[in-house]
Structure 1
């Protein structure tokens, strides 16, 4: 694992940088998750095809630090990622973002538009209002969430069989999770959907078969965004079917 000291918040961002000669891919995880946990099986497939894979744990998640003064908003995370690619002199790369990480990835792409080749999102947050988990977190006050809400989420996830998310939530900083949830619910102006549509790069959005139906499978192509369905997978497709996710990424990255 590697680390980058972020001067603006005096904290370390940590990430895996797995070498490869082909186009690099930067992976961004969702709320309460960690790229170091979510993407190794996907990255293993892509590295075997020669791609460099960069698996970033956002501040407040996984192995990265959790600075007290950081806002943990979608936009703040995107700015830190922009600092990372500048620091490691990365250009001509692809971004992959899942769920809340899809919103972060979209803003990140808009900040680095001259360096990004393609953008891939997996069931992303594109509109204000958040998703099921972010709404249930943001509806609690910060003090309430710190007192019992975060631990309750972990217990509920483990009880329902979502033990992977329960594990990454145990190491995620509760303040970081709550602030990101509030950012997702609040949305942005322009919306992340608008930013996605404005991006003049090839764009692909993935949906798990078990998440269907979803109106965006029809709406997104009308705005020039490609859509693919990952079989035998739900929202957490990189856990459910990492081989199919990697194969879909590889196909989308092929020239022509």
Structure 2
């Protein structure tokens, strides 16, 4: 386990690091209420992705990282704290693979700290604000509570709605961190994450479950050079539902990104056209 102080009062972000000699480093970021180790270890060690120095980072307030109650947990604050940790780790120009809320943080990181991010793979990431709705899990449901209501018992109601798998990592989160992060994610960044993503000039891929409809604004994303790639036999937790396809398509996206860097062209539009044979949900 590795750690770095990221706030003025010494709160630490921690991560699990997998050794690899290939460059650049790869940074994996979890979603709301999750932890990068449980969600990404299989992908980071998959033959398609192994060999790079890989940092499975828990954002401040989640997993094995500290849970400071004085921290605001805005997307900008998450991104700046993450930037401090990556700088301490000697990371620059990383491949960032980021799920859900982690994808929103990764977009803000690339916008505010462009030297730290070389290529971006977003995994069913939040791009737009959402309307808080009490019966839904995730940021939409959590954001319907005031912080006082959430701390007084709302977190237990959320635990029932999200089910045992998600709750196994969500229960580790600081409750202030969980609520504030959800509220900020539901509101969206400034400008919103979609606008920031469209403005980035690095290779970008957006993976989404193939069974869902095309992500909102997919044509606009594609026109801006973002490769929108469906992953078969998967739901929101793409890397857990179909780890083989996730690893193969992520590796292909990053390889296209490196080729685009070398050639000065776009990332390529055929990443998701042919999914390797035999990739099925376990």
Aligned mates of 2:50, 2:44 — CA distance in 1: 10
User: Structure 1, residues 109-137: CA drift from partner, whole Å, max 9, x if none?
Assistant: 11221332211111111122268521111
Indicate the SS of the match to 1:171.
Answer: coil
Q: Calculate the TM-score normalised by the size of structure 2.
A: 0.84
Task: Give how far 1:8 is off.
Answer: 1.9
Greater C-alpha Rg? 2
Q: How many residues align?
A: 252
Q: Does 1:220 align with 2:225?
A: no
Aligned to 1:49: 50
Query: Matched residues in 2 for 1:115 and 1:69: separation?
Result: 26
Q: Is 1:119 matched with 2:120? A: yes
Moved more, 17-26 or 5-14: 5-14
Q: Helix, strand or coil: the match of 1:31?
A: coil
| Distance in structure 1 (CA, Å) of the matches to 2:173 and 2:38 | 12
Alignment of 1:13-52 (within 5 A): 13-22=13-22, 23-45=24-46, 49-52=50-53
The answer for the alignment partner of 1:197 in structure 2 is 198
Structure 2 residue 93 is matched with structure 1 residue 92: yes
Alignment of 1:77-226 (within 5 A): 77-129=78-130, 132=136, 133-158=138-163, 163-226=164-227
Structure 2 CA distance for aligned equivalents of residues 181 and 34 of structure 1: 15
Question: 2: CA distance between counterparts of 1:110 and 1:46?
Answer: 31
Q: Which has the higher helix share?
A: 1
Measured after TM superposition, the shift of residue 6 of structure 1 is 2.3
Change (3 A) 1:72 1:226: same
2:265 alignment partner in structure 1: none
| Cα distance in 2, alignment partners of residues 135 and 7 from structure 1 | 28
Aligned-residue RMSD, C-alpha: 1.8
Distance 1:71 1:5, change over 3 A: same
The answer as to whether partners of 2:121 and 2:206 remain within 8 angstroms in 1 is yes
CA contact (8 A) 1:137 1:181 kept: yes
Q: Secondary structure at the match of 1:119?
A: strand
- Kindly state the Cα deviation for residue 173 of structure 1 after the two structures are TM-superposed: 1.3
CA contact (8 A) 1:128 1:191 kept: yes
Q: CA separation in 1, counterparts of 2:229 and 2:63?
A: 28
Question: Cα–Cα, structure 1 residues 46 and 81, in superposed 2: closer, same or farther, change >3 Å?
Answer: farther
SS of the residue corresponding to residue 102 of structure 1 reads: helix
3-state secondary structure, aligned to 2:5: strand
Secondary structure of the structure 2 residue equivalent to 1:39: helix
In structure 1, how many angstroms separate the alpha carbons of the residues matched to 2:178 and 2:247? 27
Shift in alpha-carbon separation, 1:21–1:247, aligned structure 2, 3 A: same
